[in-house]
Amino acid sequence: MRAWVAGAVMMVLPIAGQTSPLLEPGTLVALPGAAQSGGMSVEQALRERRSVRSYGRDPLSMREIAQLLWAAQGVSEPRQGFRTAPSAGATFPLEVDLLVTGIPELPAGVYRYRPREHSLELRVPGDRRRTLEAAALGQSSIGNAPVVMVISGVTPRTARRYGARAERYVHMEAGHAAQNVYLQGTALGIGTVVIGAFRDDGVAAALSLERSEEPLYIMPLGRLR
């Protein structure tokens, strides 16, 4: 494990195959670089995309996690800061959290994706999937998935430019990001399903979301059986 301090935040770079020690909240975990091309065409991914509610037991790799996060909200053009999903006025209202368990390089916890750094920030230590499952009316795919992605929206970021129309723009953007995850998962052999039936307050409590962060999608992620 190589680590150093940058400002007030510790940067941690996992070594492949090495188990990470316990991390403190606020720790940033660097992710492998995202691939910019792959073996499956967009047309094939569109044809094969399906909602999947049960998953294999093997954990996802750090490289797969990095690719799925990049597909959701990764930076696709560093000079302009553009991302993989379109955003009204480049206001970027979405936040992406991961509930992780069983990943050798990552202790169980809730992690926030930081697109600019292409890294994960540990926010809440421990396995919170069962708490999230309860908030989602007991949907078992959440509790059984090794990784669960939660997409939230911060409408005020977009409202500063677009006023009352901002809410619909944020919801549109969440749909763009979720479809990106579906297609990227299809190309990687990773299944997911979009879950929208949940108690907002329960999801917010499970992830320790800020008041301004509205949960929009829950997406369990796991290997196809």
- pLDDT-derived band at 94 (thresholds 50, 70, 90) equals very high
Residue 179, classified by CB atoms within 10 Å of its CB into exposed (0-12), middle (13-18) or buried (19+), is middle
Q: What is the pTM of this model?
A: 0.90
User: For 10-60, what is each residue's pLDDT tens digit?
Assistant: 445 444 444 455 789 999 999 999 999 999 999 999 999 999 999 998 999
- pLDDT-derived band at 104 (thresholds 50, 70, 90) equals confident
Q: Which of 216, 218, 39 is nearest to 129 (CA)?
A: 218
Beta bridge partner(s), residue 195:
218
Residue type, 173: E
* 57 C-beta neighbours (distance < 10 Å), count: 10
176: domain CATH number is: 3.40.109.10
- Name the 3-class secondary structure at 29: strand
User: For 149-179, what is each residue's pLDDT tens digit?
Assistant: 999 999 999 999 999 999 999 999 999 999 9
Domain that holds residue 92: 2-223
| Structural domain total, the chain | 1
Q: Which of 134, 196, 199 is nearest to 171 (CA)?
A: 196
- Name the 3-class secondary structure at 214: strand
DSSP characters over 83-148: ESS--GGG---EEEEEEE-SBTTB-SEEEEEETTTTEEEEEEES--HHHHHHHTTT-HHHHH-SEE
Quote the mean pLDDT of the chain.
91
pLDDT value, residue 43 = 97
Task: Report CA torsion sign: 102, 118, 219, 42.
Answer: negative
Stretch (H or E) spanning 168: helix 166-188
pLDDT value, residue 102 = 85
pLDDT at 219 over 50: yes
Average pLDDT over residues 67-90: 96
User: For 178-217, what is each residue's pLDDT tens digit?
Assistant: 999 999 999 999 999 999 999 999 999 999 999 999 999 9
